[in-house]
Structure 1
Amino acid sequence: MARPNDDVLDAVAGGAYYAPHDVLGPHHDGDGWVIRARRPLARTVTAVLGDGTEAALRHVRSGIWEGEVAEQPSAYELVTTYDEGAEHRADDPYRHLPTCGEIDLHLVGEGRHEQLWHVLGANLHDFVGVSGVSFAVWAPNARAVRVVGDFNAWDGQGHAMRSLGSSGVWEIFVPGLGPGATYKYEILTQDGHWLQKADPMAKAAETPPATASVVAEASHTWSDSAWMTARSQRSPLDHPMSVYELHFGSWRPGLGYREAADQLIDYVTELGFTHVEFMPLAEHPFGGSWGYQVTGYYAPTSRFGSPDDLRYLIDRLHQAGIGVIMDWVPGHFPKDAFALARFDGRPLYEHPDPRRGEHKDWGTYIFDYGRTEVRNFLVANALYWFEEFHVDGLRVDAVASMLYLDYSRNDGEWEPNVHGGRENLEAISFLQEVNATAYKRYPGIAMIAEESTSYPGVTAPTSQGGLGFGFKWNMGWMNDSLVYISRDPMYRSYHEGELSFSFVYAFSENFVLPISHDEVVHGKGSLFGRMPGDHWQKLANMRAYLAYMWGHPGKHLLFMGQEFGQMSEWSESRSLDWWMLDQPAHRELADFVGALNRAYTAHAPLWSRDSDGGAFRRLGAPTWNPNVIAFARTDHHGNTVAVVCNFSGAPVYDYELELPESGTWTEVVNSDAKEYGGSGVGNLGAVHADEYRRARMVLPPLGVLWLSHRTAPEGSAAREG
């Protein structure tokens, strides 16, 4: 091998050559071998071979040294001395073969690598006793790429990466590095500028406002095998799902992932929720974005601890029988210069056409869903959270913004698809792919769409042309019911349709009923604040509304603070008003939510056939009262729960209602019970339906009753599914 020309040596010396491994390291040269190394300012450089023999290297040009050895060196170290007498001894990064295999690169190129995080990013390796970190990054438009970090004083000239051809991947193995090293990539753009970028595949990051990536290694030992095995054998559709949504930073400020475990488990268990849903925990630079402006899709935010600390929290939740859902944001990403935006100097992760590549409302970029490598990045990211963190579900943010090319755009600001329509065909295909792949690999998980339009088939299988989600947030129900419940009871009789219209489409998708963070911010106030009347009436309305919501077909979600009737609007910058639990009336509301969850979980008719219209019927005959909404739900065994809601401000006595079955109906929930702060109006624990199935009952003011009738033997409902 002839010595490279001076221009190549100068480029290698400056860390600006696309193939530094072709110059540095060991190379066959005539009858022997030559070792080259970059050691600027060195006085001497010596290669110490594995058998202890030494080969002196001589300076060639621009800090490049070379020396001859007789045989191909299997291993060696470079010993360098400097004028001040310091000696530096290190393994040579450029003697190592690529850590990305041909099959991996083939799958990357096809966009089908389902464990992409094992190939790209920073991964620890041990090669015959030599441990270190392989760095690999996709930057197809770059002229050169190098790694900078605390291990090289943020000077990457000595750690230039090699291009792995048409894959667009750049790679280097750095011996001697371990967990905790901070780093970024320096990328030479086509127009000659160097950019410093955080690793898109980093598994950890510095705590904001610092922006470097961090080498991380998972060392947590999981203890949730019983949970994971049971999860794989069941479907969330046919099991209880009562979700407590929380923003980690303001739930109880100051707690890290580990410190929160005991408190969160105790609280969620006391309230009876089956799942927690965390607002996004992927790394993000601005706390005020609540995590919805992600810069580190593979890195749990370091604000609350390490990735293993988050694993510990999820593990503990699983051991306590609590599922974990996490918000996931594949719809857009911020323009921060250190992150994904214009990653290698050109649009890469974002669509190059601003009509498809920018969200003007949010000041963010939109992913290029039609590019195979970008799709792979996102699909693998969803799988990463299931695989590496054992999450049980992903709630996919802002799906509507992904589905429509004209989302929040005026005429002339969007380009139709190839068929002339407004649907984003590439985004639709991506959503189908991520859902189908996630359900294939991880049975029992839940993919949940926050989708606010009437797009058909959100939860239909991909094999039938649907998007393939497991659930869809029912935004129509949320909007209509909140409008209704905010009305003065005096006028509700004119607006009965705002509550009953949801029954028309309740079984068109698999729905989650959400009262989420979006309903208690930006001037909307709290759920408590929307209720009409005095303090007692507001709490009564709260209990009635939640009992109606829990009884309605669909799973349900409640944002933190609403369980005890927080009166102030939520802010991410401060704690919940936990002092309110010291107020008896608000403590009673929290107790009611706990009782509601336990009754819900214990009665299979309320969850086992959520998406089956045949398990639901409206009740009303023979009496009609526009303030009363009544319906019944039945499980697979014929057990039935009737939900009877009186949203007027006065009790209704001697109310006659035709129930689905004759016999005794046990009152399992009464939102007006005195123990929860109500007035105590009720039916002494039960009502009786005659042979014609008619029952006379008392309906409490601003109250909801759950009446249970068992057909199957006691306990069969609990064994449902």
Structure 2
Amino acid sequence: MLSGGHHDPHALLGAHPVRGGVQLRVLRPHATAVTILAKGLRTELHDDGDGLFSGVLPMRTMPEYRLLITYPDHPEGYETDDPYRFLPSLGDLDLHLIGEGRHEELWNALGAHPCTHQGVTGTRFTVWAPNARGVRVVGDFNYWDGTGFPMRSLGSTGVWELFLPGVGDGALYKFEIMRPDGSHTLRADPMARRTEVPPSNASVVTRSHHTWTDQEWMAHRADRPVHEAPLSVYEVHLASWRPGLTYRQLAEQLPRYVKDLGFTHVEFMPVAEHPFGGSWGYQVTGFYAPTSRMGTPDDFRFLVDSLHRAGIGVLVDWVPAHFPRDDWALAEFDGRPLYEHGDPSRAAHPDWGTLEFDYGRKEVRNFLVANAVYWCEEFHIDGLRVDAVASMLYLDYSREDGQWSPNEHGGRENLDAVAFLQEMNATVYRRCPGVVTIAEESTAWDGVTRATHHIGPGGFGGLGFGLKWNMGWMHDSLGYIQHEPVHRKFHHNEMTFSMVYAYSENYVLPISHDEVVHGKRALVSKMPGDWWQQRADHRAYLGFMWAHPGKQLLFMGQEFAQGAEWSEGHGPDWWLLDPSYAAEPDHRGVRDLVRELNTVYGSAPALWQQDTVPDGFDWVDGGAAEDNVLAFLRFDRDGEPLLAVSNFSPVVRHGFRLGVPGSVPVWAEVLNTDEERFGGSGVVNADPVKTEQAESHGRRTSVVLTLPPLATIWLRPA
């Protein structure tokens, strides 16, 4: 007991019937006396030494009692209930589901939960540590000495439990674990729903007191499938969007800003607790706790609630691919590999110095599946963007020959990871109507957004995601736009190739944080030429992106053409929008364009209703390489078209004829990235454009347009 290796302390401590009465034992190191208090009873126990106090009371049954414990510095003593007089506070059904790896509300079973148990208020502590010889609870409520607070093992599930009366919301705690070799380790709770502010790393007992006010949003978010709805995403690193703001302060500013620009959703880079801010949240230690850097879990709920009330959906980056090796977190949690794979070559992530989860272990899979559900149900999150899916799917990811072993079929696929992703997606979609899961997957894996029960050519069922980041489009289009216009004709296919595979998955077009850091330069700084040309290319590219099949995502700062790379240390260069800055109109013009793009996009079903089917797109001219021109039509379900034309040359093209459907007699320009209000040269098609009976591009009718330099224009039926 004193060494911390007892698996059933309740069998020794507390009240137990013996011959001659009831025996009581209390373990309180450093105490000078322990007195039993009950109705009509006040008895001091015998000091047996080493903190153990005991006595036999001549009673047939023991009434409810309390302890009066005195210490040298507290001679008056304090009263408390005896933790060892309570029955287990975790039910058999919970234990059965945990043992099966099927507890979809795992956060309600494990961790620290303020509750009333057998009529007494306190906190139930539970932790999964199957390899431990013993586990104790330590915290600020016992001066971080867990000797007197050993937990009991609840059978073969590997779960340990202890109900501590009087411990409540805000208490700090950890688990002291005796490893199989007899050594001790002090660990944060893997299921902690709140943590200390890093670099401190204790877990915090918490209970939600937030009252949600987003009932209308939640009731209607599933009205339309996401792939058939407008989805324009503003990606945000919360800690640096406005450095120093709390969740509640962000709730005052962020919804207003995003609503003004017309984005339908925000995507937060990981908000789960992480020890190193420079990881941007991608090395998680507290999978169930929003980072405490900006406030409490309820403060984060308040932010999500505020965004929903403004009509803005909330996506979060979720990182089930790996976790850091910090010795107070998940790594060898109970003295042996537990959350990580037992094979060191499978456990070590070769790129990031982290550990990969063991997706073949049912309890680990349960930990992650329940975590996905937790964010959606407890925080009303509308979507999970799953990070680094490719590193999960392939056994040879970033590994050389000889550094990996094939699966049971001789292949390179990680079958355990495939099964986990399928289970996670199926569970989230079943439990959380209207939620979308989005894969950051950079390979040609077949069926990322195919339903899990549909078997593909490779013999695998679909992974079950709703959307997938189109990394190919991102790489090719950014490669094209960085060339000088005179050289772009040699790379024209980089802008058209995406349509070869556009309907193989349901895509998001991402210009994310990854593309504007580590020497890659900000989006506007990737463009060639002088400042005017860079901004013009930036605007034209955004116009092309918004019109291309697929949803779109833009990282903060790019909406106003920030020229510097993003840094988590200071965030976007908001001073560029200060009226006192001479070049401020240049940046405001780009921001005004983004607002206009979102406005027209939202009102034009042709741009989003048929993103994932060939009926929604038709090339007009995809081969005008010499002119650096791309022209295509988008269609909604009723056949209503939108004509998008991009001219990636710095010259005006007068009298440019394009074939169009004869069903539209007159077209009107609804967006032009070269408008003066956006910082352009003002070359526009101001008057309605009539369709002529002249063949062009395989159509019997056509229009003649003026194409502004380095610009994209959209036209709709007048």
Identify whether the pair has TM-score above 0.5, normalized to the shorter chain.
Answer: yes
Could you tell me which residue of structure 1 aligns to residue 671 of structure 2? 669
Could you tell me which residue of structure 2 aligns to residue 322 of structure 1? 312
Could you tell me which residue of structure 2 aligns to residue 344 of structure 1? 334
Q: Check the 8 A contact 2:89/2:117 in 1, yes or no.
A: no
Q: Report the CA distance shift for 1:39/1:623 in structure 2 as closer, same or farther (over 3 A).
A: closer
Mean Cα displacement is larger for which, 52-61 or 655-664?
52-61
| Aligned counterparts of 1:440 and 1:690: Cα–Cα separation in 2 | 52
Q: Check the 8 A contact 1:616/1:634 in 2, yes or no.
A: yes
Write the mapping of 1:262-411 to structure 2, written as runs, cut at 5 A. 262-411=252-401
Correspondence 1:631 to 2:632: yes
| Aligned counterparts of 1:331 and 1:351: Cα–Cα separation in 2 | 12
The Cα shift of 1:82 comes to 4.5
Offset from partner CA, 1:377-432 (integer Å, 9 cap, x none): 00000000001100000000000000000000001000100111000000000000
Offset from partner CA, 1:65-90 (integer Å, 9 cap, x none): 22234143352101133466332211
| Aligned counterparts of 1:390 and 1:685: Cα–Cα separation in 2 | 47
Write the mapping of 1:559-578 to structure 2, written as runs, cut at 5 A. 559-578=555-574
Could you tell me which residue of structure 2 aligns to residue 709 of structure 1? 717
| Aligned counterparts of 2:521 and 2:653: Cα–Cα separation in 1 | 31
| Aligned counterparts of 1:452 and 1:575: Cα–Cα separation in 2 | 27
- The amino acid that maps onto 1:98 is P
Q: Report the CA distance shift for 1:622/1:396 in structure 2 as closer, same or farther (over 3 A).
A: closer
Correspondence 1:693 to 2:701: yes
Match of 2:80 among 90, 115, 139: 90
Describe the SS at the equivalent of 1:430.
Answer: helix
Mean Cα displacement is larger for which, 356-365 or 24-33?
24-33
Unmatched segments (≥5 aa) in structure 1: 1-11, 711-721
Could you tell me which residue of structure 1 aligns to residue 511 of structure 2? 515
Q: Check the 8 A contact 1:331/1:402 in 2, yes or no.
A: yes
Could you tell me which residue of structure 1 aligns to residue 132 of structure 2? 142
| Aligned counterparts of 1:454 and 1:158: Cα–Cα separation in 2 | 56
Describe the SS at the equivalent of 1:547.
Answer: helix
Q: Check the 8 A contact 2:29/2:147 in 1, yes or no.
A: no
What percent identity do the matched residue pairs reach? 57
Match of 2:33 among 44, 56, 74: 44
Q: Check the 8 A contact 1:247/1:278 in 2, yes or no.
A: yes
| Aligned counterparts of 1:271 and 1:66: Cα–Cα separation in 2 | 70
Describe the SS at the equivalent of 1:463.
Answer: coil
- The amino acid that maps onto 1:81 is T
The Cα shift of 1:621 comes to 9.3
| Aligned counterparts of 1:45 and 1:577: Cα–Cα separation in 2 | 63
Write the mapping of 1:484-499 to structure 2, written as runs, cut at 5 A. 484-499=480-495
Could you tell me which residue of structure 1 aligns to residue 576 of structure 2? 580
Describe the SS at the equivalent of 2:45.
Answer: strand
Offset from partner CA, 1:575-624 (integer Å, 9 cap, x none): 31111113111111000000001110110110111101122110029988
Write the mapping of 1:60-139 to structure 2, written as runs, cut at 5 A. 60-69=48-57, 70-82=59-71, 85-139=75-129
Describe the SS at the equivalent of 1:232.
Answer: coil
The Cα shift of 1:270 comes to 1.4
The Cα shift of 1:268 comes to 0.7
Could you tell me which residue of structure 2 aligns to residue 543 of structure 1? 539
Could you tell me which residue of structure 1 aligns to residue 42 of structure 2? 54
- The amino acid that maps onto 2:689 is V
- The amino acid that maps onto 1:665 is W
Describe the SS at the equivalent of 1:86.
Answer: strand
Q: Check the 8 A contact 1:394/1:446 in 2, yes or no.
A: yes
Describe the SS at the equivalent of 2:315.
Answer: strand
| Aligned counterparts of 2:31 and 2:672: Cα–Cα separation in 1 | 83
Write the mapping of 1:228-267 to structure 2, written as runs, cut at 5 A. 228-267=218-257
Q: Check the 8 A contact 2:29/2:148 in 1, yes or no.
A: no
- The amino acid that maps onto 2:231 is M
The Cα shift of 1:127 comes to 2.6
| Aligned counterparts of 1:144 and 1:622: Cα–Cα separation in 2 | 70
Match of 1:26 among 8, 12, 15: 15
| Aligned counterparts of 2:30 and 2:487: Cα–Cα separation in 1 | 85
| Aligned counterparts of 1:678 and 1:645: Cα–Cα separation in 2 | 14
Q: Check the 8 A contact 1:40/1:64 in 2, yes or no.
A: yes
Describe the SS at the equivalent of 2:398.
Answer: coil
Q: Check the 8 A contact 1:544/1:647 in 2, yes or no.
A: yes
Match of 2:433 among 427, 436, 443: 443
Could you tell me which residue of structure 2 aligns to residue 679 of structure 1? 681
| Aligned counterparts of 2:607 and 2:129: Cα–Cα separation in 1 | 51
The Cα shift of 1:269 comes to 1.2
Q: Report the CA distance shift for 1:120/1:224 in structure 2 as closer, same or farther (over 3 A).
A: same
TM-score by length of 2: 0.95
Q: Check the 8 A contact 2:425/2:463 in 1, yes or no.
A: yes
Q: Check the 8 A contact 1:621/1:658 in 2, yes or no.
A: no
Offset from partner CA, 1:350-377 (integer Å, 9 cap, x none): 0011221111210000000000000000
- The amino acid that maps onto 1:523 is G
| Aligned counterparts of 1:379 and 1:662: Cα–Cα separation in 2 | 50
Q: Check the 8 A contact 1:622/1:656 in 2, yes or no.
A: no
Q: Check the 8 A contact 2:622/2:632 in 1, yes or no.
A: no
| Aligned counterparts of 2:668 and 2:534: Cα–Cα separation in 1 | 27
| Aligned counterparts of 1:637 and 1:58: Cα–Cα separation in 2 | 87
Could you tell me which residue of structure 2 aligns to residue 609 of structure 1? 610
Q: Check the 8 A contact 1:113/1:380 in 2, yes or no.
A: yes
Match of 1:530 among 512, 520, 526: 526
Q: Report the CA distance shift for 1:648/1:113 in structure 2 as closer, same or farther (over 3 A).
A: same
The Cα shift of 1:652 comes to 0.8
Mean Cα displacement is larger for which, 234-243 or 371-380?
234-243
Offset from partner CA, 1:126-151 (integer Å, 9 cap, x none): 13541111110000000000011111
The Cα shift of 1:293 comes to 0.4
Offset from partner CA, 1:472-524 (integer Å, 9 cap, x none): 00000000000101111111122210000001111110000000000001111
Offset from partner CA, 1:128-184 (integer Å, 9 cap, x none): 541111110000000000011111000000111001111000110010011111111
| Aligned counterparts of 2:427 and 2:130: Cα–Cα separation in 1 | 26
Q: Check the 8 A contact 1:655/1:696 in 2, yes or no.
A: yes
Describe the SS at the equivalent of 1:493.
Answer: helix
How many pairs were matched up? Answer: 698
| Aligned counterparts of 1:432 and 1:670: Cα–Cα separation in 2 | 43
Q: Check the 8 A contact 2:622/2:630 in 1, yes or no.
A: no
Describe the SS at the equivalent of 2:666.
Answer: strand
- The amino acid that maps onto 1:671 is T
The Cα shift of 1:334 comes to 0.3
Could you tell me which residue of structure 2 aligns to residue 209 of structure 1? 199
Q: Check the 8 A contact 1:233/1:443 in 2, yes or no.
A: no
Q: Check the 8 A contact 1:417/1:424 in 2, yes or no.
A: yes
| Aligned counterparts of 1:387 and 1:537: Cα–Cα separation in 2 | 47
The Cα shift of 1:58 comes to 2.0
Could you tell me which residue of structure 2 aligns to residue 160 of structure 1? 150
Describe the SS at the equivalent of 2:443.
Answer: coil
The Cα shift of 1:696 comes to 0.8
* Cα RMSD for the two superposed structures: 1.5
| Aligned counterparts of 1:43 and 1:450: Cα–Cα separation in 2 | 60
Unmatched segments (≥5 aa) in structure 2: 455-460, 579-583, 694-699
Describe the SS at the equivalent of 1:333.
Answer: coil
The Cα shift of 1:31 comes to 5.8
Could you tell me which residue of structure 2 aligns to residue 554 of structure 1? 550
Q: Check the 8 A contact 1:15/1:159 in 2, yes or no.
A: no
The Cα shift of 1:221 comes to 0.3
| Aligned counterparts of 2:158 and 2:472: Cα–Cα separation in 1 | 45
The Cα shift of 1:667 comes to 0.9
Could you tell me which residue of structure 2 aligns to residue 647 of structure 1? 648
- The amino acid that maps onto 1:558 is L
The Cα shift of 1:52 comes to 3.9
The Cα shift of 1:235 comes to 1.5
Q: Check the 8 A contact 2:654/2:705 in 1, yes or no.
A: yes
| Aligned counterparts of 1:257 and 1:77: Cα–Cα separation in 2 | 41
| Aligned counterparts of 1:504 and 1:15: Cα–Cα separation in 2 | 63
| Aligned counterparts of 2:125 and 2:323: Cα–Cα separation in 1 | 23
The Cα shift of 1:192 comes to 1.0
